[in-house]
Amino acid sequence: MRRLLALRQDQKLTTRHVRLMAQSLEVTERTVWRWLAAAARDESAAAEPGARAQTRDRFTVTPEVRRLLALWKGNVAAVHRELTARAARQSPPAAPPPSLPTLHRAIQRDLTPGERAGLAGGERAARKHDVFLARPRPWRNKVWETDHVQAPVLVEVDGRARRPWITWFTDCATNAITGVAVTPGHPSRESVLAALRSAVLREDPYGPFGGLPEKVRVDRGKDFLSRTVTAAFDLLDVTVEDLPAYTPHLKGTVEGLNRAVESMFLAALPGYARQPRPGKRASRPKDEVLLGFEDFTARLLDWTRWWNTEHRPSPLRGKTPLEAWQDDPTPLRDVPATDLWTFTLEDAGTRTLTTRGIRFRRRDYVGAWMTGQAGIQVRIRFMPHHDHRIEVYDAATGRYLGPADLADQATEEQLRAVRRARSARARRLKKDLEASQRERYAAATRAEPPQRIGALTGAQAEAELAQSADADLSQLALPDVVPLAAPPADWRTPASLAALTTPGLPGPDPSGRHESSAPDGIAGRAAAPSITGEDGDAS
């Protein structure tokens, strides 16, 4: 537009110039002439041809409107009603709020799509409108990514339906799943260590993927940053990159795998229960037969092998992860299986081997190899949450001595009985707590304060209060029965503490000798009250 204005000023502007401009901008010639006229009146209009002129009274989005949009989750109509109600309550009456179409136009004009989505759905919704850069594809074992994901599939575990957790490591260069571990319940550092061992080892059945990576990306998960896992990575000379919170795009390879496993595998399994909207329960057929945990794990491992050997992800340009791995000439760093097992165990320090075995966590562990070894110093390593066995090493040389099993271990029947008793006790306690804390209210058909229901007699109320008072030992304490004596005169006592003492009672003598000048020995009893036994003698 500025070029056309310059041609007009030099008296060289022709209809051909206007026609070419209209064709390039895909508008009519009349529109271009109108833009020229507007630019001749106001030079600022030449920067944005066709834009509406900025008027002084045009409504713009204010911080108050942004706060209301966040409060009402992006509902513009609710924001307009709130602005109207606030204007009506002001005295003297303020300027009328903008109309609903004006408010819609201002929000569309002044806020970006990401801001509108963020005010309506939060940071995750706003992130969908961001632009992300793609990292250059590295070489194999340059960077791994790891994560936990809860499978939206109900699996039978000891007679109960549970949603297992999957822990895996993936190579960013080849999209290969290097290691995977499945946990029936909530994962822990033991799940990370098990998946790490399967990822590093390249022997059957884990190969050919594996070896030690140079770096592993984690997302601030407490299991991945635990002392045991961090020590294992340090011993293996692997750098841990702790990503900022709420940044799943920074580990897009494993996040993409989390989404792919659901749509490509888990959605077709029996017991699939996609998490519904909050407040809704997932519905499934009552006669549906769930998979056992062993069957689910076997199917997941088969799908993992298919992903590595047959699936062709688009970033690999027609190759499978196995082909991309084999075409990469980068040398691999291997670790012997025995050393890897040692490095991925938690260290419990040194102990002395006695005639009763090894004392660990107030329990005794014994092994057949301990015969004739009593008195030596050993170092204990163990797998987290596996209380039945520990691994024992020589404290001086670090040589592996052997495993030690828990002595006098309970039988399976005893364990089942204990679990049943614990479950019954937990259910009973939960029921009692809910019954004692449940408060009922009367139904209301008009605007009135809530009315609690549930009548008690005066005797019932006094009995319950007396029972609770007897159970609370802090209410039985009587700190003010014997007043505190005044401190010595040469002590620098704060005024707030001096006000709580009895001025007429002398303080204790620093030399240990106390002579009371108060009548009847009151000060002596105040300074050091005696305890009289049943026979009348002071104790």
Pick the more confident residue, 203 or 78. Answer: 78
Pick the more confident residue, 273 or 531. Answer: 273
Report how far residue 222's alpha carbon sits from residue 214's, in angstroms, rounded to the nearest whole number: 21
Other Cβ atoms closer than 10 A to 472: 10
Q: Place 494 in a pLDDT band, splitting at 50, 70 and 90.
A: confident
Identify whether 413 is part of a domain.
no
307 and 231 fall within a common domain: yes
Report how far residue 215's alpha carbon sits from residue 219's, in angstroms, rounded to the nearest whole number: 13
Quote the pLDDT of residue 531: 39
Quote the pLDDT of residue 528: 41
Torsion of CA 448, 449, 454, 455, to 10 degrees: -90
86 and 185 fall within a common domain: no
Q: What is the CATH number of the domain that holds 169?
A: 3.30.420.10
> Which has the closest alpha carbon to 423: 184, 164, 158, 165?
158
Last residue of a domain, one of 294, 327, 360: 327
Most confidently modeled range among 411-425, 439-453, 524-538? 411-425
Identify whether 469 is part of a domain.
no
- Whether 505 and 488 have beta carbons less than 8 Å apart is answered as no
Report how far residue 442's alpha carbon sits from residue 190's, in angstroms, rounded to the nearest whole number: 50
362 and 393 fall within a common domain: yes
For every residue of 66-77, DSSP letters joined together read HHHHHHTTT-HH
Bridge partners, 218 (sequence order)? 242
- Whether 172 and 306 have beta carbons less than 8 Å apart is answered as no
229 and 265 fall within a common domain: yes
What's the average model confidence in pLDDT over 366-382? 87
Identify whether 378 is part of a domain.
yes
Is residue 529 pLDDT above 60, yes or no? Answer: no
Give the pairing type, strands 358-360 and 363-366: antiparallel
Identify whether 513 is part of a domain.
no
When divided into structural domains, the chain yields a total of: 4
Is residue 139 pLDDT above 90, yes or no? Answer: yes
309 and 241 fall within a common domain: yes
86 and 188 fall within a common domain: no
Report how far residue 144's alpha carbon sits from residue 238's, in angstroms, rounded to the nearest whole number: 10
Identify whether 312 is part of a domain.
yes
166 and 200 fall within a common domain: yes
What is the pTM assigned to this prediction?
Answer: 0.63
- Whether 163 and 182 have beta carbons less than 8 Å apart is answered as no
- Whether 307 and 178 have beta carbons less than 8 Å apart is answered as no
Quote the pLDDT of residue 477: 61
What's the average model confidence in pLDDT over 383-407? 84
Identify whether 465 is part of a domain.
no
388 and 297 fall within a common domain: no
Identify whether 527 is part of a domain.
no
Residue 303 per-residue DSSP state: H
201 and 274 fall within a common domain: yes
Range in 121-125, 130-134, 276-280, 488-492 the model is least confident about: 276-280
Bridge partners, 393 (sequence order)? 379, 400
Report how far residue 274's alpha carbon sits from residue 285's, in angstroms, rounded to the nearest whole number: 14
Pick the more confident residue, 373 or 409. Answer: 373
208 and 351 fall within a common domain: no
Helix (H) or strand (E) holding 524, with range, is helix 522-527
Q: List the structure tokens of 126.
A: 């706003």
255 and 177 fall within a common domain: yes
Is residue 483 pLDDT above 80, yes or no? Answer: no
Identify whether 323 is part of a domain.
yes
Full domain range(s) for residue 303: 143-327
What's the average model confidence in pLDDT over 50-64? 73
pLDDT digits (tens, 9 = 90+) for 315-367: 898 999 999 999 999 999 998 888 888 888 888 889 999 988 889 888 888 88
Last residue of a domain, one of 99, 127, 155: 127
198 and 122 fall within a common domain: no
Report how far residue 238's alpha carbon sits from residue 143's, in angstroms, rounded to the nearest whole number: 10
Quote the pLDDT of residue 437: 64
Report how far residue 523's alpha carbon sits from residue 484's, in angstroms, rounded to the nearest whole number: 10
